[in-house]
Amino acid sequence: MKNFKEKKNYLFLILVALIGCVLWFSPHPEGMNLSAWRLFSIFTATIIGIVLKPLPMSVITLISLTVTIATGVLSVPQAFSGFSNEIVWLVVFAFFISRGFISTGLGKRMAYKIMSLVGKSSLGLGYGLVAADLFLAPAIPSITARAGGIVFPILKALTEVFTGKSHDPKMGIFLTITAFQGMAITSAMFLTSMAGNPMIAKLAYNQGVEITWSSWAIAAIVPGLISLAVIPYVLYRLISPVIKKTPHAREMAEERLADMGAMKPKEWIVLSTFFLLITLWIIGPFIHLSATTAAMIGLTIFFLTGIIEWTSILEEKTAWDTFIWFSILVTLATFLYELGFTTWFSQWVVGQTQGFNWILGFSIVSLLYFYSHYFFASSVAHICAMYAPFLIVAIALGTPPELAALTLAFYSSLFGGLTHYSSGPAPIFFGMGLVPISLWWKMGAIVGSINVVIWMVFGGLWWKILGLW
């Protein structure tokens, strides 16, 4: 099995290299300069490599960066410019801050507290899982970290209680899918709730659209809350667990809270810092304080109070791994713009779509963007490959730029609920073995379509009120 996997990875690596070489030596389109075309060939090969995964994502991107320097497409200062990008550091700092929630136990305490309040019924339990994730989402940018470190242990304990002792498989299915679909929605609601969101902000900025933490949250709050209210109920009706009342869940949560005891001083510090960060992210644009600076303030408080130590920062492998591939992808995407590729693409799109009504055209574009995620195993890979081109298309059709940028941004998280491989939490929750793959896909398609309608209709009305169109 290991040899087969290694051979497959080598074949994928060769395929990626061949695709890059074919594009590199192909004639570049009229009106585009050679450097832009060559960077596009490297970028395309990089995205295909990320999707096929013959090597870890950071290794793929490092190889790509090496090629850009060795071939003279980018200079060394240009190639490493992404490592000083403010948005990249915001993601890294947010990962470090999230460690405080996990290490002090505050994250679990919050989740158990919500369970104790709303866990009297199976439906309330589903809402409780969603509410716990919603509360944590602004401060923990990795949905995989939230899923694996906080939500999954609680979900597993609950499913063992109700599926094991009460023999209700549907209960486990309901809780698993509800938690999973809830995370796709909460990840769409905040700039800092999914690792790919800050990248979107950077790609949108390249097209002249500035997205702040507060503008993202304000635009997402109404459709997001509607989705969070509707989806658990829809799943409850579709799956229909046998157990309707769940006093055991409330008892379990209260027992776990009792075992944890009163809140520790460090938990109070983390909670206070959490509210401080939310406040700074909201008022930041008005006091000229960037989201990254606010995150640094929170991190500094954690260091000074002993919430986290430098050794734990060095051990935060996911953060440093994200720092590498995120920085490089930001660099490649930025210079595709600066070398003129996106300008050329925009002009080409304008020529192809003249005469389209922007509302109809953008509806088609956004739906294609959403449902094309069936072909991706990574939200970040999808964003890197398609967000900027589809945003350019939308703007070329006459769609108000901020409306286009935010709508595609929200869909970039919502499509993470489509399949059992579509986002970080997917393999974690699917790996529990409680949900058949056919049911997982069926629920993903239904929930995905409902979310699209909610965010198009109710979101569209809310965005009209906000003046986005």
Using the 3D structure, point to which of 294, 317, 340 is the last residue of a domain. Answer: 317
Q: What is the DSSP string of 185-203?
A: HHHTT-TTSSTHHHHHHHH
Residue 405 lies in a domain: no
Phi-psi region of 340 (alpha: psi -120 to 50; beta: other; left: phi over 0): left
Cβ-proximal residues to 378 (8 Å cutoff; 6+ apart), any chain: 50, 51, 57
Q: What's the pLDDT score for residue 356?
A: 76
Measured between alpha carbons, how far is 12 from 3 in angstroms, rounded to an integer?
14
Residue 311 lies in a domain: yes
Q: Are residues 40 and 171 in the same domain?
A: no
Amino acid type, 267: E
Tokens, residue 58: 């950071």
Burial class of residue 348 in the structure, from the number of CB atoms within 10 Å of its CB (0-12 exposed, 13-18 middle, 19+ buried): middle
Residue 153 lies in a domain: yes
Residue 191 lies in a domain: yes
Tokens, residue 413: 């998280």
Q: Are residues 61 and 96 in the same domain?
A: no
Q: What's the pLDDT score for residue 103?
A: 83
pLDDT (tens digit, 9 = 90+) per residue, 293-310?
Answer: 888 999 999 999 999 999
Q: Are residues 137 and 247 in the same domain?
A: yes
**Structural domains of the chain, count:** 2
Q: Are residues 66 and 31 in the same domain?
A: yes
Q: Are residues 41 and 185 in the same domain?
A: no
**What does residue 245 show for φ and ψ, rounded to 5 degrees?**
-105, 140
Measured between alpha carbons, how far is 139 from 277 in angstroms, rounded to an integer?
8
Q: Are residues 126 and 174 in the same domain?
A: yes
Residue 10 lies in a domain: yes
Q: Are residues 123 and 70 in the same domain?
A: no
For 242, what's the count of Cα atoms within 13 Å in the CB-facing half-sphere?
A: 8
Using the 3D structure, point to which of 290, 317, 344 is the last residue of a domain. Answer: 317
Tokens, residue 309: 């130590």
Measured between alpha carbons, how far is 52 from 17 in angstroms, rounded to an integer?
12
Tokens, residue 229: 């209210």
Q: Are residues 54 and 150 in the same domain?
A: no
Q: Are residues 192 and 227 in the same domain?
A: yes
Q: Are residues 154 and 253 in the same domain?
A: yes
Residue 400 lies in a domain: no
Q: What's the pLDDT score for residue 169?
A: 79
Using the 3D structure, point to which of 283, 301, 317 is the last residue of a domain. Answer: 317
Q: Are residues 93 and 20 in the same domain?
A: no
Residue 193 lies in a domain: yes
Domain that holds residue 107: 86-317
**What does residue 121 show for φ and ψ, rounded to 5 degrees?**
-135, 165
Measured between alpha carbons, how far is 358 from 396 in angstroms, rounded to an integer?
9
Which parts of the chain register pLDDT below 70?
A: 1-2, 4-5, 145, 148-149, 153, 157, 160-167, 346, 349-350, 353-354, 377
Residue 392 lies in a domain: no
3-state secondary structure of 121: strand
Q: DSSP H helical segments within 104-246, as ranges?
A: 106-118, 122-136, 143-146, 152-159, 169-187, 196-206, 213-239
Q: What's the pLDDT score for residue 306?
A: 92
Tokens, residue 171: 């209960």
Q: Are residues 121 and 182 in the same domain?
A: yes
Q: What's the pLDDT score for residue 77?
A: 94
Measured between alpha carbons, how far is 146 from 135 in angstroms, rounded to an integer?
11
